[in-house]
């Protein structure tokens, strides 16, 4: 049991100077997967995006009367920021297509 715990300690807490090195002895800059799943060279999440746990529960009528700022917030929450540059009608159409099943149209 003690051997297993010592192995686990080595795995979870490696020495600071361990890791890949370049030919001149310097440490190589290695990308690591962060806690939220993004890639970065420092070990932190790259963009800070974390997928929401729940799917939006709006109806088609809700999307059709939703204010633009609320649509922007919803699209940003789900990582769809590029869509936020369109017109209000384009955003509504995209949200309806992205978050509703075809039988809910």
Domains in the chain, number: 2
Residues 41 and 66 in one domain: no
33 pLDDT more than 50? no
- The per-residue pLDDT for 37 is 44
- The per-residue pLDDT for 54 is 85
Residues 71 and 93 in one domain: yes
Residues 42 and 68 in one domain: no
Q: Which domain holds residue 99?
A: 60-104
| Cβ count near 36 (within 10 Å) | 13
- The per-residue pLDDT for 9 is 55
Q: Which of 91, 50, 97, 93 is closest to 74 using CA atoms? A: 91
Tell me which of 29 and 78 has the higher pLDDT.
78
Q: Is 1 inside any structural domain? A: no
- 47-72, pLDDT tens digit by residue? 666 778 888 999 999 999 999 999 99
Q: Is 97 inside any structural domain? A: yes
């Amino acid at each position: 049991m003690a051997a297993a715990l010592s192995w686990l300690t080595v795995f979870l807490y490696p020495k600071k100077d361990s890791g890949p090195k370049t030919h001149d002895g310097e440490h190589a800059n290695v990308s690591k997967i962060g806690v939220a799943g993004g890639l970065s060279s420092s070990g932190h999440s790259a963009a800070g995006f974390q997928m929401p746990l729940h799917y939006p529960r709006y109806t088609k009528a809700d999307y059709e009367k939703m204010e633009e700022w609320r649509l922007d917030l919803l699209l940003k929450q789900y990582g769809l920021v590029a869509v936020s540059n369109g017109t209000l009608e384009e955003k509504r159409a995209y949200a309806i297509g992205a978050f509703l099943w075809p039988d809910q149209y």
